[in-house]
Amino acid sequence: MQSSVAATTLTPSTEATADEIRHDWSRQEVEALFALPFNDLLFAAHTMHRKHFDPNQVQVSTLLSIKTGACPEDCAYCPQSTRYDTGLEAEALMEIEQVLEQARAAVASGATRFCMGAAWRSPKQRDMPKVVAMVKGVRELGLESCMTLGMLSQEQAQELSEAGLDYYNHNLDTSPEFYGDVITTRTYQDRLETLDHVRDAGMKVCSGGIVGMGEKQTDRAGLLQQLANLPHHPESVPINMLVRVQGTPLEEEADLDPFEFIRTIAVARIMMPESHVRLSAGREEMNEQMHALAYFAGANSIFYGEKLLTTPNPQANSDMALFDRLGIEPERRHVEKAPATPSPHFYDAAAQ
């Protein structure tokens, strides 16, 4: 027998408007989605996915740590924080040619987007010329470019936009209510302001969070509510599963129920129908069946390669072998090699 929540959520009137891009989700509505019977939720999510994407294509990105460790923040999940003894050796910002060598390897492996991450609270102005050169070099190779460098000022966001940066990643991590249990060195509002700067500069937004940090299901609902109620949905929504690293405060955190992870993917797909929902950290702990279920639930982007910044990731050939068995193909996108300067109103114009 269907629960009362399921019956309410799957009424004909709700189905008639399910295809709308909404920015006014209530917490009660989001929690009702999480509470659906598992099969009903997956059916709704997969139906939504097929309306907006080819269900047998997955976008493939490669992630490179261009500056590792020595971060002053206290994010409880992160091995790169100076506050925790995780055995990680700090490394200075890479040279431009080293980064481009890795980008060329990404092209050869079939990636369409190259993401560069630096363990900074925010970039120093002295580092910006080198960072800008990396963006331009990656774009010249025909790859989409993405960076995550911490908090950005308006001026820094504009500088990256003018260099041709396609995406900027800045995760909200969790709900506003649970956030203080994980991070104290920057506020939730700090994160939202960086997303505003990125959007105002004309770049696409990559923003998601981490599940399995000890949060409740209501916190996972709160994270997705925050993302879906932004003025524009993030074009990419990475859903990370906690990778427990010895020496961090979350090293003993209990495993998240795999079905709860899949529920999070499915609800994200329903709430943000046109966004790429990405499987990010934690894929090393996911078996093939869990990957397949995640793709069915609406995940259509992965980080590809042997390592995500500092934590393991499935071998690239394993991903391609599973794609072949599932009939999935990597998404192909052509990127102009000459870096273009997006208009400050790029997103608004494209959405009209």
- What residues are labeled active site? 71, 75, 78, 115, 146, 206, 278
CA dihedral 126, 127, 128, 130 (to 10 degrees): 120
Tokens describing residue 281: 């950290």
Find out whether 270 and 299 touch, Cβ atoms under 8 Å. Answer: no
**DSSP notation for 156-178:** HHHHHHHHT--EEE---BS-HHH
- Lookup result for tokens 């500056």: 67
330 closest CA partner among 146, 56, 72: 56
CA within 13 Å, CB half, 74? 11
Give the amino acid at 13.
S
Cβ atoms within 10 Å of 185's Cβ, excluding its own: 13
Write the DSSP symbol of residue 235: S
Cβ contact 143:122 at 8 Å: no
- Residue 287 is classified by DSSP as -
Phi, psi of 71 (to 5 degrees): -85, 135
Give the Cα separation of 216 and 96 in Å (integer).
Answer: 42
